Structure 1
Amino acid sequence: MNSYLLFGIIGWLYAISVLKRAHLSAYYFIVGSVGLFFILIAIGNPYWVWFLTHSVINGIAWVSDLTHWSSVHTKYGIVYIVNAIWPVTMSIDYECSGIIETTAFVSLLAFYPTYGRQEKLFYLALGTLWVYLANVIRLLLVVILVHFGGANWFFTAHTIIGRLVFYCLIIMLYYNVFTYSQLSQSLYRNFKRHFSRG
């Protein structure tokens, strides 16, 4: 661990402890979640990025094995999209891993005051899975559009349509977890009731 990161973590811990003791809950939430986001990003590179990237690649590979619309080289993070005119090679990298969106969600959830510890763990698992699936859907949409539409569709599919679909799904997650808390808490209570019986 680099010394700047270590001093940053110590300073962040001191700042959030002062804000908590001073009962400044809004500042505690902002400083806590922003600080945790940068710490997790710093610690997560390259290990979590590698894990998330390969998880996404394996999700695409599973669908590709069924459809044969693309061939996936999981070791190198490359998706070779087959089409009738001009095949396209897509590289799955840092941006496609979903690390930024996952880390932002985890950081906000960690300091969100409405939920208890068990509820946060439940939404952590649910939200991480949601971001992963949203990312796989986005990249599969790129594969489908390029496979059927040709190489000319790659920029539009990857940069515009895929991102719009992905961020709409992320906004749905944020709305349901952070804004519409009563619905979210009833979801958690139903989940807990169902699994406590069985």
Structure 2
Amino acid sequence: MLKYMLLLVCVMLWVYLLTVLKRAKNGAFYFLAGSAGVFIFLLFMSKPYGIWLFATAMTWSVGLVGHATGFFTTFYFTHVIQVVVDHHISLFVIDYECSGIIESTAFIGLIAFYPIYSIKRRFVLGILGILWFFIANIVRLSMVAIMIYLFGDNVFYLAHAILGRLLFYGLAILLYYLVFTKGQLVNRIFKKIG
């Protein structure tokens, strides 16, 4: 109960800070404070159910790739990916970091206060961003499992910590570049779509 009271007080202070920054017409600090507040609030509220939901959906989706390739299987209620090669079992767990929830909440926090887009476009871009991170994470985790299947356990660190992250964050940078750097281009695309 105390935790939720503290959260309520923090949210009230955050909203007050946003109103002060808005009245002061300080757009940069308004954006930073607003984005950071949404990010922290979403992370706080995601425990434990949001994390479980993201990890379950991620495990199930990666399992579709495993089923299609036959290289690995997943157990989505326990968030485990299993790779079996020559009677040797490799297991890895999709946890908080691997679920993609941190990157998704960071993107939602940033897009929620990005001033170039209307509220409707921010909402659409937020949904598209979550889907982008979700698919990028599926590709990353599938690549890790496939590399373990093809090259054995000894490539886990290389596949997960180096190549997988390079792939995932490369796709994340592409999304950020398109959404935050090419805002005018995205607005024109939205106008054409309607």
Specify if TM > 0.5: yes
Greater shift in the superposed pair: 143-152 or 59-68: 59-68
Q: Retained in 2: the 8 A contact 1:33–1:111? A: yes
Give the match's secondary structure for 1:94.
Answer: coil
Shift, 1:2, TM fit: 1.8
Count of matched residue pairs: 192
Q: 1:57 aligns with which of 39, 50, 59?
A: 59
User: Which residue in the other structure is 1:37 paired with?
Assistant: 39
1:36-76 deviations in whole A, cap 9, x for unaligned? 11111101111211111111111111111111111111111
Contact between 2:72 and 2:146, CA under 8 Å: does it hold in 1? no
Q: Give the match's secondary structure for 2:81.
A: strand
Gaps of 5+ in 1: 193-198
Distance 2:70 2:178 in 1: 35
Query: Which residue of the partner structure matches residue 15 of structure 1?
Result: 17
* DSSP 3-state at the match of 2:85: coil
* Partner of residue 137, structure 1: 139
Candidates 167, 172, 175, aligned match of 2:174: 172
Residue 112 of structure 1 corresponds to 114
Tell me whether 1:67 sits opposite 2:69 in the alignment. yes
Q: 2: distance between equivalents of 1:50 and 1:190?
A: 38
In the other structure, the counterpart of 1:24 is 26
Q: Percent identity?
A: 38
Whether the 8 Å contact between 2:80 and 2:92 is mirrored in structure 1 is: yes
Q: Do the aligned partners of 2:71 and 2:146 also contact (CA within 8 Å) in 1?
A: yes
Q: When the two structures are superposed, what TM-score results if normalisation uses the length of structure 1?
A: 0.93
For residues 156-171 of structure 1, the aligned pairs below 5 Å read 156-171=158-173
Greater shift in the superposed pair: 182-191 or 54-63:
182-191
Flag the 1:66–1:28 CA change in 2: closer, same or farther, 3 A. Answer: same
- 1:189 CA drift (Å): 2.2
Partner of 2:127: 125
User: RMSD in angstroms over aligned alpha carbons?
Assistant: 1.2
TM-score in terms of structure 2 length: 0.95
**Counterparts in 2 of 1:85 and 1:186: CA distance versus 1, 3 Å:** farther
Determine the C-alpha separation between the residues in 2 that align with 1:39 and 1:73: 30
Asked if 1:96 corresponds to 2:98, the answer is yes
- 137-146 or 86-95: which moved more? 86-95
Q: Secondary structure at the match of 1:112?
A: coil
Distance 1:85 1:65 in 2: 18
Deviations 1:80-123 (A, max 9, x none): 01223733101011011111100000000000000001111111
**Gap regions ≥5 residues in structure 2:** none
Tell me if 1:153 matches 2:122. Answer: no
